[in-house]
Each structure stands twice: as structure tokens, then as C-alpha cells.
Structure 1
Amino acid sequence: MVADSVVYHPTINKLINFLDNGAGREKCLRLLQYLARFLAAQTLSPLAKALQGQFTIVRKFLRFLKPLNSLQAAAKLYDNKLTSDGIVRIFNIIKQLSFAGYLSLDQINLFRILRVVPTTRFTGKLVPKMANLCWLSALVSGMVCDLRQVSLSQSKITALAVNDDEKKLLSKAYKDRYSASRKFVWDATDLFMVLNNLGYLRYQEGYVALAGVFTSLFGLQDTWRAAKP
């Protein structure tokens, strides 16, 4: 039956699995948040601004206790002393610890928005600034890892290109280089956003929102690929 072919289609199954986990919903909300932010910047619509705020709050709820994920990832990286490259290991640890700090401070932002904690100079100004500084640290560390991975992959490509018997390894090296290059662009775009948040750059709000839309699409793509069919 036509209905059965639609209901049991692999793409529908994958969409259900994608939306059934917190990561998929959070990535969708992030895209909607930055789309609303872009519309608010372009049209000055109070509705778009309100939607942006609501999407932001819901995302903070979905990220509740997520710092534990980053702390666990940092601990595993620290324990894994047999990793192939020490530079990648060290900066990945810094990246995960920085993300843990960012997400922890972001929980204070959530409590302030919900009025669980009072709005003071510390909770209203210093905490958001420290959160953005942690995000900045995570992004810079990630970009160092990305560049290192590109360098390592390029070295493998150069070594394997002369050997026709290593086509599978060569193909993997190309994929690794592409993945690291793509992640560098992703991190650099997020870096553009956080530098504007901190006031080091002063681009128009619409450009910052478009950067958020761009990186949200990257995140959606990765989460979609990871979803089970």
C-alpha cells in the first residue's frame, strides 16, 4: 500500500529517530533561533524578537547538565595517552573543558532568565561575558586541532599518493582532510559570532545571525548523518 510505503520509508524512520533525541531537537531549535534573530534584525519585528528569545530558552533547557558530557569527554582524552598525536589530544582536552565551562555558565544564564537567581552585575554581565570567553577558548582550541588534522592528513596523502596499492587509505586521508577543513570553517564562523558577542568585532546583527544560520546547518547535517535509518 502507498500509506505503508510512506510510513515505513527509511527517510521517515530516520527523521523520527533524528527528532526523537535531544541533539536533533536542539539543532533544529538553534536554526530557528538564528533565523528569528535574522528576521528581527532585518524587519525589527517584535514577534521575531520574541520567538528568538523563546527558542533560546528552550535550547538552554535541552542543554541542562550537558557540561557532564564535555567533562567526561575531557577525562577520556586525558586517560587515552596512546592517541596518535599529542597536540590534537592536548587541545581537544582544552576544548572540552572550555565547553564544559561555557555550558555551566550558560545554566546560570538560564536561572537568571527564569528569575531563580537575581539579576545582578555578576549574573547579568560577568557571567555572560565569561561564558563567551569559554566558548572563545573552545573554538580557538578546536581550530588548532582542525589545522593539525589537516596537516596530518596532508602528510598521509603525500606519502600514499606514490603507492597505487594504498587507494583505500588514500581515500580515507582525503576524507579526513575534508572533514578537518570543514570543521575549521565551522569553528571560524562561530568564532566570528563570539567575537561580536564580546565586542571585539562590531558587525551588524544580521551578519551575526546569518553566521549562526550557517553553522546551525552544519550541525543539523552532522546530526542527521548520525541518526539511525
Structure 2
Amino acid sequence: MASIASQVILHPTVSKSLKYGSTTVGRDKAYRALQYFARFYAWYLLSRGERDLSARWNSLKSHLAIARKLLRLGKPMEHLQAAIRACLSTANPVEQVATIGRQLGYFGYLTLDAVVWANTIRFVTLKPETATKVTTFSNRFWLTGVLFSIANGVAKNSRLALETKKLQHGSNEIDLSEKAGRETRLSAVSAARNQTRQQLLIDMLDLWIPATNTGLTNLNDGVLGAFGLITSVLGAHQQWAAVNGK
């Protein structure tokens, strides 16, 4: 019995899960997936008339949202640093501008989100109308960041597609070392392109959440919960690969 327990507890998957959960990003992705599942499931239960059970899942969604705001308290400075690094880089001009816009958008969003969190836990007290304005501006910054991220993804994907085409149709009259180098570069570009496409998918689904929060669209919690769950799982997969390798 002890042998079976040790095999389960010490299983490589359990060890990788603990390693994943030890990172702040890993925990945030897990909490986000559960939060948006709860949002979807609460909507589903309410549509079936199960109000009490729906309220339980809605409460879980709300408390996970508050917990995630606490986890992200240091994130605005990370995005501000990334914006400054992008200003100093020599990247493609379109990608550079889009990256700066994305980072500044997320900086504004997460900074105001921290104010929302402080008001929610009554650490600071804002007038109801002020709290509403802060939340609205926070979501506008979020929407701006996502739009710039989409623009960056489109520009980057176009550049990588052009580079892939050049590598695939390059001259065949080259020595073996140059051919190996071209194949290595092609593999790297292909991996970068796949990652860019996945981020584009995440952004295009996430876009609807702040768009709805700001009143630009009117999607229900079922749709937004499903979108959020999908992007959370995709983001969690990226973080898992970063922590544990593919």
C-alpha cells in the first residue's frame, strides 16, 4: 500500500504540477481557468433555474477574481519595463509600436485594477461613481492592450511568413553547413510562428471580455466564460511548457 502511495505521490506528473504551481504565473493561470469555468457554469445553472447552486459558483468566480488581483499587484512595473525595453529595441517599427502600446495598455489596466482591488477589500474607500469610473477605465486600458497585441501578432506573423517563404525557396546550390543552418533557422521561425498564432487566438477571444465590460458588445456570461476558459487553458499550456519543457 505504501509502495502504491509513493508511486502516486512521487509520480513525475505530480512533481511537474508542483513545479508549475510554485510559479505565480502558473497559479494565476489555474485560478483564471477555474474562475471562467465558474462564470460559465453559473450562467448555465441560472439558465436552468437553479438559482441557489448558480449563486454558489458565482461567489467562487468573484472570490477568485479578487485573489487574482492580489497576485498581480507587482505586474504593472513588469509591463512598464517591457515598454521601455521595446522603445530601446531595433525591432520592426510596426511591431515595436504595437509592443509599446500593448505594454502601456496592460500597465494602465493592472495599475487601475490594483485600485479596484483595494476598494473591494475596503483598504481604500471610493465613492460608488468613482469606483465605477476606475473600473471602466481599467477595462478600456485592457481592451487597448489586447488590440495592440493583436496588431503586433498580425505584423509579426506576416514577417515570419515572408521569412519562411524565403527560407523554403532559397537557392539549393549551397554547401551542407549552410543548408543545415537554413533548416535550423526555418525550424526556429516555424516555432515562433506557431507561438504567434496561438497568442493571436488567445487575444482574439480575450478581446470580447473587456469589450463587453466597457459596453461595446453585449455577450452573455456563458460565452465570455467559455472564451475565458479556452484562453486560460491555452495560457496554462504555454506556462507548463516554459516551466517543465515540452
Unaligned runs of 5+ in 1: none
Structure 1 runs of 4+ with >6 Å offset? none
Match runs of 1:149-188 below 5 Å: 149-163=156-170, 165=179, 166-188=182-204
- What displacement does 1:7 show? 4.9
Q: Which residue of 2 aligns with 1:133?
A: 140
- What displacement does 1:2 show? 6.0
Q: Which residue of 2 aligns with 1:199?
A: 215
Aligned residues: 227
Q: Is 2:53 the counterpart of 1:51?
A: no
- What displacement does 1:39 show? 1.2
> Which residue identity lines up with residue 63 of structure 2 in the other structure?
Q
Calculate the TM-score normalised by the size of structure 2.
Answer: 0.86
Q: 2:77 aligns with which of 68, 85, 90?
A: 68
Contact 1:139 1:187 (8 Å CA) reproduced: yes
CA distance in structure 1 between the partners assigned to 2:136 and 2:242 by the alignment: 33
CA shift digits 1:147-189 (9 cap, x unpaired): 0111111111111112352222222222222221211111010
Q: Which residue of 2 aligns with 1:79?
A: 88
Q: Is 2:229 the counterpart of 1:222?
A: no
- What displacement does 1:35 show? 0.8
Contact 1:108 1:123 (8 Å CA) reproduced: no
Contact 1:14 1:228 (8 Å CA) reproduced: yes
CA distance in structure 2 between the partners assigned to 1:54 and 1:183 by the alignment: 27
Please identify, of 115-124 and 96-105, the stretch whose mean Cα deviation from structure 2 is larger: 115-124
- What displacement does 1:114 show? 0.7
Calculate the TM-score normalised by the size of structure 1.
Answer: 0.92
Q: Is 2:232 the counterpart of 1:208?
A: no
Q: Which residue of 2 aligns with 1:13?
A: 15
- What displacement does 1:117 show? 2.2
Please identify, of 10-19 and 179-188, the stretch whose mean Cα deviation from structure 2 is larger: 10-19
- What displacement does 1:194 show? 1.4
Please identify, of 148-157 and 163-172, the stretch whose mean Cα deviation from structure 2 is larger: 163-172
CA distance in structure 1 between the partners assigned to 2:220 and 2:9 by the alignment: 44
CA distance in structure 1 between the partners assigned to 2:134 and 2:116 by the alignment: 7
Q: 2:36 aligns with which of 9, 16, 34?
A: 34
* Aligned residues: CA RMSD: 1.8
Please identify, of 104-113 and 13-22, the stretch whose mean Cα deviation from structure 2 is larger: 13-22
- What displacement does 1:25 show? 0.8
CA distance in structure 1 between the partners assigned to 2:73 and 2:122 by the alignment: 16
Contact 1:143 1:187 (8 Å CA) reproduced: yes
Over the matched positions of the two proteins, sequence identity in percent amounts to: 28
Please identify, of 110-119 and 160-169, the stretch whose mean Cα deviation from structure 2 is larger: 160-169
CA distance in structure 2 between the partners assigned to 1:8 and 1:168 by the alignment: 37
Unaligned runs of 5+ in 2: 47-53, 173-178
Q: Which residue of 1 aligns with 2:125?
A: 118
> Which residue identity lines up with residue 34 of structure 1 in the other structure?
Y
Contact 1:94 1:141 (8 Å CA) reproduced: yes
Contact 1:95 1:142 (8 Å CA) reproduced: yes
